[in-house]
Amino acid sequence: MTDYSYFPGCSLTSSAAEYDVSFRLVAAAFGIGLDELADWNCCGASPAPHHWGGELGILLPARNLHIAGAGHPSVVAPCAGCYNRLKYAQFELERNPELRERTGAALDEAVRYQTEVLNVIQLLNREIAPDDLSERVQRRLSGLRLGTYYGCVLVRPPEVVRYDDPNNPVKMEPLLNATGAATPHFPFKTECCGSYMGLAKKEIVLQASKRIIEVALECGIDALVTVCPLCHQNLDLRQSQINAAYGTDYHLPVLYFTQAIGLALGHSPAELGINTHKNADFGNWTLDVG
């Protein structure tokens, strides 16, 4: 049993609570210990680095890194946005001694920033061998065609996150395939969903997310799989807004990576919080166990 520090971030405690639940279920099934960071704070999300300028976008995640530094060797941040901010802070602290000084001053002690930061795909790939997962599958997802949707910030900028191929990430695929699901070629796996523009200029999100869904359907995909709460929101929650704006009739389910694996392990959609999604109809594909 390996223990990891766990940084849930704001989303996983609110709008993406089902992500947290499903992650914990999968982790438990494979004996992965998750120690939630004590007194963690906001990762800075999009506004801190982009709108408030200065160093807030580094200082906020730096504090979380600092806390993690007192715990296990690695910290996992399932939300792609949180992951990106933590990696960014680490990247900047690593190369900028003066920033390290200032951060230390703000923390009243030398900043601990070298804890390994993992995203959820990385963690599960490390702890679960595809063959093991395949053996543990209770509900084989054969026949289900999953579109792996990585979004932007998990793999970009590549020199900062250094994770997977930024143009063609493929690290979700092995575990998903081990559940029996197919992962057909999906050209929009890193296309932007519109991100936080949903608040400022909704049309942008509707247009961007519409195209992702459209191409997914063109590729014969039954459900999208993501690791980002914001992407999830734009693609699932706003699907009805897309339909209203474009006169489409989309009902494409969007799952968290951990939910897809949870389904394969035999958990019910309700246990995994899939019922809280707006689009949870898998069509011909039945969710029966066995």
Partner 1 sequence: MLGVFVCQCGTNIAATVSTDRVVQAAKSMLGVVHAESIQYTCSDPGQRAIIDAIQQKGLTRVVMAGCSPRMHETTFRRAIGRAGMNPFMLEMVNIREQCSWIHSDIDEATEKAIDLVRKGVARVRRQKPLQAGSSPVTRRALVIGGGVAGIQAALDIADAGIPVTLVEKSSTIGGNMARLDKTFPSLDCSSCILTPRMVEVKQHENIKLMVNSEVEKVRGYIGNFEIDIRKKASCVIEENCTGCLICQEKCPSKAPDDFNVCAGESKAISIPFSQAVPLVASLRKEYCRLFIKGKCSVCQKVCPAGAIDYEQEDIVVTEKFGAVVVATGFGLYDWKQSYPTYGMGMYPDVINALKYERLLSASGPTGGRIERPSDGKEPRDIVFISCIGSRDESVGRPQCCSIGCMYMAKQAILTKEHIPDSQSYIFYIDVRAAGKGYDEFTRRAQTDFGAIYIRGRVGKIYPRGGKLVVMGTDTLAGDQVEIEADLVVLATGLTPAEGAGQLARRLNISTDGQGFMAEGHPKLKPVETNTGGVFLAGACQGPKDIPASVAQAGAAAAKVIGLLSQEELETSPMVAEVNQLKCAGCFKCRDVCPYGAVEAQDARDGQVAHVIASLCQGCGLCNVACPPGVISLKGYTDNQLIAEVVEVLR
Which residues contact partner 1 (rule: CB under 8 A)? 165, 167-168, 185, 187-188, 191, 214-215, 218-219
Q: What φ, ψ does residue 61 adopt, rounded to 5°?
A: -65, -30
Alpha helices in the chain (DSSP H): 9-12, 17-29, 47-50, 56-68, 80-95, 97-107, 120-127, 130-136, 158-161, 173-178, 197-200, 202-218, 229-232, 239-246, 257-264
**Which of residues 107 and 219 has its CB atom nearest to partner 1 in the complex?**
219
**Which of residues 174 and 266 has its CB atom nearest to partner 1 in the complex?**
174
> Measured from the CB of residue 250, what is the shortest distance to partner 1 in angstroms?
15
> Measured from the CB of residue 47, what is the shortest distance to partner 1 in angstroms?
26
> Measured from the CB of residue 166, what is the shortest distance to partner 1 in angstroms?
10
**Which of residues 188 and 256 has its CB atom nearest to partner 1 in the complex?**
188
- Among the listed residues 132, 153, 181, the one whose alpha carbon sits nearest the alpha carbon of residue 77: 153
Q: How far apart are CA 69 and CA 72, in angstroms?
A: 7
> Measured from the CB of residue 258, what is the shortest distance to partner 1 in angstroms?
26
**Which of residues 82 and 192 has its CB atom nearest to partner 1 in the complex?**
192
Look up tokens 């390994």; give the residue.
Answer: 116
